[in-house]
Structure 1
Amino acid sequence: MISSRTRLRSTAGVLALLASLTAGCSSDDAAGAGDPSASGATSTAPAREYDFSAVAPIVEAFLAENGLDGAGLVIVDEDEGIIDEQYFGEFDADRVSLVASASKMVTAGVLVRLADQGLLDLDEPIAEYVEWAEGANPGITVAQLLSNSSGLVGLLPNPAYGPYVCQFLPAEELEDCAATAWATPGDDADIVPPDTEFRYGGVQWQIAGAVAETVSGKPWSQLLEETYVEPCGVESLGYNNHWTQIGEGLSGYPDEFGGDPGLLAPTENPHMEGGLYIDPVDYAELLLMQLRDGRCGDTQVLEPESVERMHTDRVGETYAGATMTGTGYGFGWWIDRDGSSRITDPGAYGAVPWLDLDGGFGGYLVLEADARLGATLAAQLYEPVEAAITAAR
């Protein structure tokens, strides 16, 4: 069964264990699709007429073939806002999902905002801001942390690197974890100089979060509130550190989560690169902010040049870096190097947010499955979504 809604929304109105996480870095009935009455929702028709009817059969067939219980898909346009929502099976607009590595662009945005506020220079050594960063690993910057270029051990090359295990432990405290990992005795042989090698994920993201809390003097939850919840209205957004709390580690989506963040114990060590939970519409609002040069409604949350920097292939420009997929990487975004203007931030559980920067549109696909299935379905949707938007214009 599908619930589908096509509407214009105001941006301010709504908004094994480690192997699975590493995998996230690659990458009514159908007749009611596009009919707001199919879900009993009220809506405002967009200025253009969009026909996304080609999308539903693709998703339905994919879910049936792979035995999945549902999916959500929200399409956004930089001028008109949310232009299509389709929900399949057990999914609806209010379903809160864990999105794993699709957290990264959200985390990076908080650090970028602190830089916009003058509390942080992304290109200065973090030792300028936190006492525990003096001595070991001198010179590493936030820009290097957010582009997986710090030289610290990441999920690649070693997803099970013992000295950094605190990143997955909710009973830890964020700054303590960062400081401990930073000064780990005996890891010098495993570290490479910054901006010489792409090493995806890992404790470098916890270190970035700890820097954010230190320079702002605020906990991560408050930074989220100020950066996204208040200006963008994304009430479902939050972070936790669920990896060792529910499910079988990182081997698959923890079905017992059931869309209920209250099931998770409170933590002072939110997982920066993979701890986000959110509903589909709220994630779409964050995509709109990225498309709209950092604006949520009338609020300039991020400066336009900072958003552009997030979307720029830093690893290619800085050290001719090659990622494991042959794509580029900015701050939280994978950058297509094959001539398209598409950027993505996929997660280990099958969530795939994407933006077409030249086209001014994007989408958010959410599954509760795995990275391979999310990437496979998203690849089937890019072309029909683009065709429908192009035809409407």
Structure 2
Amino acid sequence: MQALMGMLLMAGASGIAATLDQELAAVAADQAMPLASLSVLAVRGGKVQYQFQTGQRRIGAAAAPANADTMYRIASISKMMTTFGVMRLIEQHLLELDTDVGQYLGYALRNPHFPDRPITLRMLLTHTSSLRDEAGYFWGAEVAIRDRLTSGAPGMWAGEAGPGDYFMYTNLNWGVIGTIMEKVSGERFDRLMKRLLLDPMGLRGGYNPAEFTAEEIDNVATLYRKRTVDTEVWNPDGPWIAQVDDYSAGPPAAPANVATYVIGSNGTLFSPTGGLRISAADLGKVMLMLIQHGRYQDRQILRPESVAQMFSQQWKHNGSNGDTYRGLYQSWGLGNQRFGRGRLVEGGGFSAAGHLGDAYGLISTFVVDLQRGNGMVSLIGGTGTDPDSNPGRYSAMTRSEERILTALYRHAILGR
């Protein structure tokens, strides 16, 4: 009888997976917003329950399908991954959340409109530092970030709200964080993150494709849009156009002038804000580590108290203390967003924390319910139409994202 019940359960799970495969393939092929590729993963009860890939990691003469090991430039989910490195440095007593970061940088970091108010790592990690992106947030190896931060350039600093007063999602915060990490460790950011997080967990990829193996390079997804690279002109009937990570003509080059780069002078170089290449499968390993209170297999990657602190609420919108970006941002931890029950899946019911990403055609999601051990990863490798033409029905996400997450939640997590 037990064997029969086991066979019935397996048959039911197989049927659910087949239904889910079909739903996700239909989303990827939908002409309202076709997707160049899609790689997803779902965790239920602390175990990987489902994985699926469709579409092409490369399009054209060297076409190749997406697979379970395909790595994507995951955009702003990289911020959360960078924060894991920050938490490890805090555990090593090299950093503190509420220390004036000028002590780490070696110079005063001040909003010129509020010169008497120190900026802390906690403020940077919660987007309340009063830094802004309008004056730029990425520079080459020859640029010292100190010169940009202290230049007084328009758009670098908020004038109406000082450090700690107001939430504004700002990429530059993570450029400063990467610089601080280099300063206190003496290591270049891309290699530091491999030492702190990627290598201990056996994760492939990293923040610097120039140091990938040939096998890794072959399995990096090119990100596409049906849009020219430097304009906003879309042509849904035209070809897929590579936006980033197109290695068809040769392997990735190292950043210009990196050989003479001074460690700690410009943490934007390897994009702690958005530059990590990693697969959905390896993001699933990170998710399991978090669910298991910082432990992965036989290694304690982060202390349980570090995980708890990182995902505890640090900022909450009260109606006037932040820009919510069409209601998307309501609550924030350290380097991660906290999502309410009605903002991720249709009909609500899934409360989680994590991060979203959107850059170069890539649209990404990492969301995990640490209490119940459930979570979802979605990596879209490019869109064929303007995402703004495919808005969500109940969230600030696209309708494609809503459909993907809802399908994963209903079938892979709830088992319906």
TM range (shorter): 0.7 to 0.9
| 2:79 aligned residue | 104
Distance 1:129 1:358 in 2: 35
Distance 1:311 1:388 in 2: 26
Counting only pairs closer than 5 Å after superposition, residues 125-136 of structure 1 correspond to structure 2 as 125-133=100-108
| 2:254 aligned residue | 265
Tell me if 1:206 matches 2:175. Answer: yes
1:344 to 323, 333, 354: 354
User: Structure 2 unaligned runs (5+)?
Assistant: 1-9, 57-65, 211-221, 235-240, 262-268, 343-349, 391-396
| 1:323 aligned residue | 324
1:93 to 42, 49, 68: 68
Checking the alignment, whether the CA contact within 8 Å between 2:291 and 2:373 is kept in structure 1 is yes
Give, in angstroms, the shift of residue 250 of structure 1.
Answer: 9.1
From the superposition, tell whether residues 197 and 256 of structure 1 become closer, same or farther in structure 2 (CA, over 3 Å).
closer
Checking the alignment, whether the CA contact within 8 Å between 1:123 and 1:143 is kept in structure 2 is yes
| 2:152 aligned residue | 185
| 2:42 aligned residue | 75
Tell me if 1:237 matches 2:206. Answer: yes
What residue identity is the alignment partner of 1:341? S
Checking the alignment, whether the CA contact within 8 Å between 1:294 and 1:300 is kept in structure 2 is yes
| 2:121 aligned residue | 142
Give per-residue Cα distances to partners, 1:234-291, cap 9 Å, x unaligned: 1223347999xxx825969844624789424335611121111122212222222222
| 2:193 aligned residue | 224
| 1:248 aligned residue | 229
From the superposition, tell whether residues 327 and 79 of structure 1 become closer, same or farther in structure 2 (CA, over 3 Å).
same
3-state SS of paired residue (1:355)? strand
Tell me if 1:381 matches 2:404. Answer: yes
Distance 2:231 2:72 in 1: 15
What residue identity is the alignment partner of 1:364? V
Give per-residue Cα distances to partners, 1:74-106, cap 9 Å, x unaligned: 1224633x3321111221122222121121111
Checking the alignment, whether the CA contact within 8 Å between 2:310 and 2:334 is kept in structure 1 is yes
Distance 2:176 2:209 in 1: 16
Checking the alignment, whether the CA contact within 8 Å between 2:374 and 2:413 is kept in structure 1 is no
From the superposition, tell whether residues 366 and 391 of structure 1 become closer, same or farther in structure 2 (CA, over 3 Å).
closer
Distance 2:89 2:231 in 1: 31
2:26 to 32, 56, 61: 61
| 2:94 aligned residue | 119
From the superposition, tell whether residues 172 and 302 of structure 1 become closer, same or farther in structure 2 (CA, over 3 Å).
farther
Give, in angstroms, the shift of residue 307 of structure 1.
Answer: 1.5
What is the aligned-residue identity percentage? 22
Checking the alignment, whether the CA contact within 8 Å between 2:74 and 2:274 is kept in structure 1 is yes
What residue identity is the alignment partner of 1:347? G
Tell me if 1:168 matches 2:168. Answer: no
Distance 1:186 1:68 in 2: 39
3-state SS of paired residue (1:198)? coil
Checking the alignment, whether the CA contact within 8 Å between 1:236 and 1:278 is kept in structure 2 is yes
Q: C-alpha root-mean-square deviation of aligned residues, in Å? A: 3.4
| 1:157 aligned residue | none
3-state SS of paired residue (1:100)? coil
From the superposition, tell whether residues 366 and 186 of structure 1 become closer, same or farther in structure 2 (CA, over 3 Å).
closer
Distance 1:278 1:381 in 2: 20
Give, in angstroms, the shift of residue 111 of structure 1.
Answer: 0.9
3-state SS of paired residue (1:263)? coil
Distance 1:215 1:52 in 2: 47
From the superposition, tell whether residues 153 and 189 of structure 1 become closer, same or farther in structure 2 (CA, over 3 Å).
closer
Checking the alignment, whether the CA contact within 8 Å between 2:131 and 2:170 is kept in structure 1 is no
Give per-residue Cα distances to partners, 1:174-204, cap 9 Å, x unaligned: xx22x12321225587443112111112322
Q: How many pairs does the alignment contain?
A: 332
Give, in angstroms, the shift of residue 231 of structure 1.
Answer: 1.4
Give per-residue Cα distances to partners, 1:300-334, cap 9 Å, x unaligned: 12122222222223121899646222421222322
Checking the alignment, whether the CA contact within 8 Å between 2:206 and 2:277 is kept in structure 1 is yes
From the superposition, tell whether residues 233 and 304 of structure 1 become closer, same or farther in structure 2 (CA, over 3 Å).
same
3-state SS of paired residue (1:238)? coil
Checking the alignment, whether the CA contact within 8 Å between 1:52 and 1:388 is kept in structure 2 is yes
Tell me if 1:334 matches 2:337. Answer: yes
Distance 1:189 1:170 in 2: 21
3-state SS of paired residue (2:281)? helix
User: Structure 1 unaligned runs (5+)?
Assistant: 1-45, 155-160
3-state SS of paired residue (1:343)? strand
From the superposition, tell whether residues 134 and 258 of structure 1 become closer, same or farther in structure 2 (CA, over 3 Å).
closer
From the superposition, tell whether residues 305 and 239 of structure 1 become closer, same or farther in structure 2 (CA, over 3 Å).
farther
Question: Normalized per residue, which structure has more helix?
Answer: 1
What residue identity is the alignment partner of 1:76? V
Distance 1:49 1:198 in 2: 43
| 1:16 aligned residue | none
Give per-residue Cα distances to partners, 1:93-143, cap 9 Å, x unaligned: 222221211211111111111111111101111022221235665410111
Greater Rg over alpha carbons, structure: 2
Tell me if 1:364 matches 2:377. Answer: yes
TM-score, structure 2 normalization:
0.70
Give, in angstroms, the shift of residue 342 of structure 1.
Answer: 1.5
